């Protein structure tokens, strides 16, 4: 029993926030092409190369990219719809796609024209990318890094190692943060550059969001042309924050997809399972569980689509994106837990999907900005709204 139960009126349960036709096409595609692969991807912990290439061919990797760069030129609400629907079937495919969007957003927002022309059109052809910030000693705090870059004879030379890199097993290009003389800076590094290698470290396998091992990526004296510095030297943390403001909204959409899948799985079960001469769904106590879950998912959906809308208007994007990811990730974990409970022993079976939902949901309370860091961002956005001056300057 999975989310593919056709008796459920999905269009009414989860109304579209963008054109209904767009969402209907997406739902059909995801049910046909991604859902049948979801368990295998999770169990084998493999990167879904073919699916990612197919998503790109259909324009789902380049929803917001300008048409003159090969993109669809749609708004971020459409991108949110893509991530939500994909993650109903497979959050692992969602995180594979999000690393493509992260690299694309960085290049689109900050790179010079030559780099934009080199890489942006390639996304429509299925370019696979990773976004590499984290190191062994630097996770949430990326203001200092052990990966260093220095200018030598007009070229950048990169030395260091990144950890926990999603999609790292398949990436053809890495967008990385490295420390230069002027501070943290961003670089685009082709996978085939001399000195780039990947390996599976002792911490590469996670229990959730399993889209292939989260790789260690080594840069050993990698030489890059000067234009592979993305944006301004020393402004990397600010640029990374901009990218995260975008990807957090899309991560929220992935969590929504997980929550919806868990909700639907439990709904199917409770509708069909009989106990004490009635359907489990007829017990008022069980209906209250569903009422709570549905209200929470609806609330999270409103936050995610509001945040996606704000990415177009540039209005308070750090706050809305953080609220969206924080709420959606917590809702996904709570709904996955509750859904398993409603399904009794079936909810706990290895061949039921609830374990995957729960593992993926929990992992997304950490990946892409932990809940604590999101709360810091929301709290910080409150300061100017409260009329507060920086600490010590009151
Ligand atoms: C599934 C998965 C995929 C990932 N993919 C990538 C990737 O593709 N690219 C990449 O660069 N990284 C990736 N990461 C790494 C991820 O970004 C980091 O795990 C995350 O930023 C947290 O860093 P950390 O694990 O080092 O925890 P730490 O930063 O060491 O934090 C430990 C704990 O302290 C809390 N904490 C830290 N600072 C504060 C603070 N100021 N206030 C309150 N609490 C705080 C954290 O929330 C956490 O609970 C991935 C992680 C996971 C789990």
Q: 10-124: which CATH architecture?
A: Orthogonal Bundle (1.10)
Q: What percent of the chain clears pLDDT 70, i.e. is strictly above it?
A: 98
Class of the CATH domain delimited by 129-234: mainly beta
Residue 178's SS3 state is strand
Residue 159: strand, helix, or coil: strand
Arithmetic mean of pLDDT over the chain: 96
The torsion angle over the Cα atoms of residues 251, 257, 262 and 265, rounded to 10 degrees, is: -160
Q: Is 166 in the pocket of ligand 1 (CB under 6 A)?
A: yes
User: Would you say 37 and 51 are in contact if contact means Cβ atoms under 8 Å apart?
Assistant: yes
Predicted confidence (pLDDT) at residue 124 exceeds the cutoff of 70: yes
Q: What is the pLDDT at residue 1?
A: 43
Q: How far apart are CA 180 and CA 146, in angstroms?
A: 10
237-385 CATH choice from 3.30.70.1560, 1.10.10.10, 3.30.420.10, 1.20.140.10: 1.20.140.10
Interstrand relation of 274-275 and 278-279 (parallel, antiparallel or unpaired): antiparallel
DSSP SS3 for 52: helix
Provide the pLDDT for residue 3. 47
Pocket residue to mutate for ligand 1, from 239, 333, 370, most atoms within 8 A of Cβ? 370
Where does CATH 1.10.540.10 sit in the chain? 10-124
Asked if the model's pLDDT at residue 9 lies above 90, the reply is yes
All residues at 6 or more sequence positions from 26 whose CB lies less than 8 Å from its CB, including other chains: 60, 81, 82, 85, 86
- The predicted pLDDT at position 5 comes to 83
Q: What is the mean pLDDT of residues 315-323?
A: 95
Give the span between the Cα atoms of 329 and 361, in whole angstroms.
6
Q: Is the CB of 363 under 6 A from ligand 1?
A: yes
Q: Is the pLDDT of residue 390 over 80?
A: no
**CA–CA separation, 123 and 116 (whole Å):** 11
User: What number is the average pLDDT over the span 193-205?
Assistant: 95
Kindly report, residue by residue over 141-160, the tens digit of the pLDDT. 999 999 999 999 999 999 99
For the chain, residues classed under CATH 2.40.110.10 are: 129-234
Q: How confident is the model at residue 314 (pLDDT cuts 50, 70, 90)?
A: confident
* Element of type H or E holding 230: strand 229-230
Report which of 330, 377, 369 is spatially closest to residue 131, judged by C-alpha positions: 369
Return residue ranges of the chain for CATH 1.20.140.10.
Answer: 237-385
Ligand 1 centroid, distance to 147 Cα (angstroms):
17
Q: Give the mean model confidence (pLDDT) for residues 257-280.
A: 98
């Amino acid at each position: 029993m999975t989310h593919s139960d056709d008796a459920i009126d999905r269009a009414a349960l989860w109304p579209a926030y963008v054109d209904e036709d767009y969402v209907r096409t997406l739902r059909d595609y995801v049910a046909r092409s991604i859902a049948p692969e979801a368990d295998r991807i999770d169990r084998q912990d493999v990167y879904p190369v073919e699916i990612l290439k197919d998503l790109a061919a259909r324009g789902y990797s380049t929803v917001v990219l300008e048409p003159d760069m090969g993109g669809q030129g749609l708004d971020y609400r459409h991108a949110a719809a893509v991530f939500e629907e994909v993650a109903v079937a497979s959050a692992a495919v969602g995180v594979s796609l999000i690393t493509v969007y992260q690299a694309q957003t960085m290049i689109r927002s900050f790179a010079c024209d030559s780099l934009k022309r080199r890489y942006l059109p390639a996304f429509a052809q299925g370019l696979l990318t990773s976004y590499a910030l984290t190191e062994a000693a630097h996770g949430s705090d990326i203001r200092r890094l052990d990966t260093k870059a220095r200018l030598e004879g007009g070229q950048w030379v990169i030395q260091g190692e990144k950890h926990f890199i999603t999609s790292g097993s398949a990436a053809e290009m890495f967008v990385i943060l490295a420390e230069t003389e002027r501070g943290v800076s961003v670089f685009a590094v082709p996978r085939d550059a001399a000195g780039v290698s990947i390996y599976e470290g002792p911490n590469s396998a996670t229990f959730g969001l399993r889209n292939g091992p989260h790789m260690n990526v080594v840069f050993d004296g990698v030489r890059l042309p000067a234009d592979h510095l993305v944006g301004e030297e020393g402004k990397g943390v600010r640029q990374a924050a901009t990218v995260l403001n975008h990807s957090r909204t899309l991560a929220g959409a992935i969590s929504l997809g997980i929550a919806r899948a868990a909700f639907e799985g439990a709904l199917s079960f409770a509708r069909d399972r009989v106990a004490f001469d009635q359907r489990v769904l007829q017990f008022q106590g069980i209906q209250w569980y569903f009422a709570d879950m549905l209200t929470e998912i609806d609330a999270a959906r409103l936050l995610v689509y509001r945040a996606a809308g704000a990415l177009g208007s540039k209005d308070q994007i750090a706050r809305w994106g953080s609220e969206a990811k924080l709420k959606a990730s917590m809702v996904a974990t709570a709904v996955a837990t509750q859904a398993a409970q409603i399904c009794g022993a079936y909810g706990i079976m290895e061949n039921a999907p609830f374990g995957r939902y729960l593992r993926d949901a929990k992992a997304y309370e950490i990946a892409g900005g932990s809940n604590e860091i999101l709360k810091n961002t929301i709290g910080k956005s409150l300061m100017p709204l409260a009329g507060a001056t920086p600490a010590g300057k009151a």
